[in-house]
Structure 1
Amino acid sequence: MGTYLAFLRAINLGANRKFPKADIQRVVEGVGFTDVETHINTGNVRFSTSMRSRARIEEALERAFLADRGFEVRTIVFTPKEFAEIARVGAELRAARPAVERQYVELLKDEPTKDQAAALEATSTPTGEVVVRGRAIHVLLTPEHQGNTVVAAAAAALGVTTNRNFNVIDTIARKWC
C-alpha cells in the first residue's frame, strides 16, 4: 500500500460547489482507499491505496467525486516525498527572501515544459517573484505587491492546477510527510 496526498480544485467556492470534509472522506473511502484523512475544508486529502499509477488514482477519485457531487472535481495527486520537496523548496525560497510577505503555491497536475516554466518565471516583477520547480509554481509577494499576479491565468493554460497558501503547504507537509 502506498500513501498519497490529493488536492481538490475549486470546491467550497460559492453555493454550487459545496463538498464538506466528511463527504470527501466518505467518497474516498468508497473508492476503496484506506487511512483517509482530510485537512481543513479546502480539499486536502491523505489516503492509502494499492494503486500505483498517479493518473489512475486521479481518474478514480474524479469519477467518484463527479458521481457523488454532480459536478467535476479535478484532483491533483502527489506522493508524500514529492509533496515534502515542494514544502522544502518553498521554505528555502522564503528564507532567502526576507522581504516576502505572502507566499502561494500553484500545484500542477502535469509538469510544465522548460519553455513553459521559463515563460511563467518571466512574469516575475520586483514585487512578485514566480519560481517553477517540477509540478509547483511558487509565488512570492512583497508588501508592495498590488492586485493579482498573472500566474493563475498562465498556470491555467498549463492544464489542471490548484492554489494553496504556503502556510497550508507547510502544515500539510509537517502533518503527512
Structure 2
Amino acid sequence: MTTYLAFLRAVNLGAKRKFPKDDIRRVVEGVGFTGVETYIASGNVRFDTTMRSRDRITQMLERAFLEDRGFDVPTIVFSASEFAELARETARLHAERPGLARHYVYLLPEEPPASVVEAVEATSNDLGDMVVRGRAAHALLRPGYEDGVVDPLGATKLLGIATNRNATVVTTLGEKWCTPAR
C-alpha cells in the first residue's frame, strides 16, 4: 500500500461547489481506497491504495467526484513521500524569509517546463517573490501587498491548473500525513 494526498481545486467556494468533508471521504472510499482522512474544508484528503499510477488515481478520483457532485473537481495528487519533501521545502523557504505577510503554495499536476518556471519567477517584485520548486510554486508575500488580492504578483495565470494552500496547511499535512510513524 502507498499513501497519497489529493488536493481538490475550488470546492466549498460559493453555493454551487459544495463538497463536504464527509462526502469527499465517502467518494474516495467508494472507489476502493482505504485509510481515508480529510483535513479542513478546502478539499484535502489522504488515502492508501495499491495503485501506483498518479495519473490513473487522479482520473479515477476526478470521474468519481464529477459523478457525485455534478461538476468538475480538478484534483492534484502527490505520494506521501513527494508531499513530505514539498512540506520540508515549504518550511525551508518560509524560514529563509522572516517577516513574510503570507506564504501561499500552488500545487501543480505536473512540473512546469523551464520556460514557465522562468516566467513565473520573473513576476517577483517589491510585493514578494515567486519561487517554483518541482510541482509547487510559492508566493512569498511581504508586508505591504494588498490583503485579499488573489494573485498580487500576477503569476498564477501562468501556472495553468493549480490549487493553493497556505504554508501552515502544507507543513501541517506534511507532519500529520507524511511521517513514517503513522
Find out whether 1:171 has 2:157 as its counterpart.
Answer: no
Q: Hey, what's the Cα distance between the residues in 1 that align with 2:134 and 2:33?
A: 26
Contact residue 5 and residue 45 of structure 2 kept, 8 A: yes
Contact residue 107 and residue 162 of structure 2 kept, 8 A: yes
Contact residue 116 and residue 159 of structure 2 kept, 8 A: no
| Structure 2 equivalent of residue 53 of structure 1 | 53
Give the SS at the match of 2:165.
strand
| Structure 2 equivalent of residue 3 of structure 1 | 3
Give the SS at the match of 2:143.
coil
TM-score where L is the length of structure 1: 0.95
Q: Flag structure 2 segments of 5+ consecutive residues without an equivalent.
A: none
Q: Flag structure 1 segments of 5+ consecutive residues without an equivalent.
A: none
Percent sequence identity is 59
> For 1:90-169, what aligned pairs fall within 5 Å after superposition?
90-146=90-146, 147=149, 148-156=152-160, 160-169=161-170
Q: Hey, what's the Cα distance between the residues in 1 that align with 2:48 and 2:125?
A: 41
What is the CA deviation profile of residues 71-101 of structure 1, one whole-angstrom value per residue up to 9, with x for unaligned ones? Answer: 0101010011111111111111111111312
Q: Hey, what's the Cα distance between the residues in 1 that align with 2:18 and 2:72?
A: 12
TM-score where L is the length of structure 2: 0.93
| Structure 2 equivalent of residue 18 of structure 1 | 18
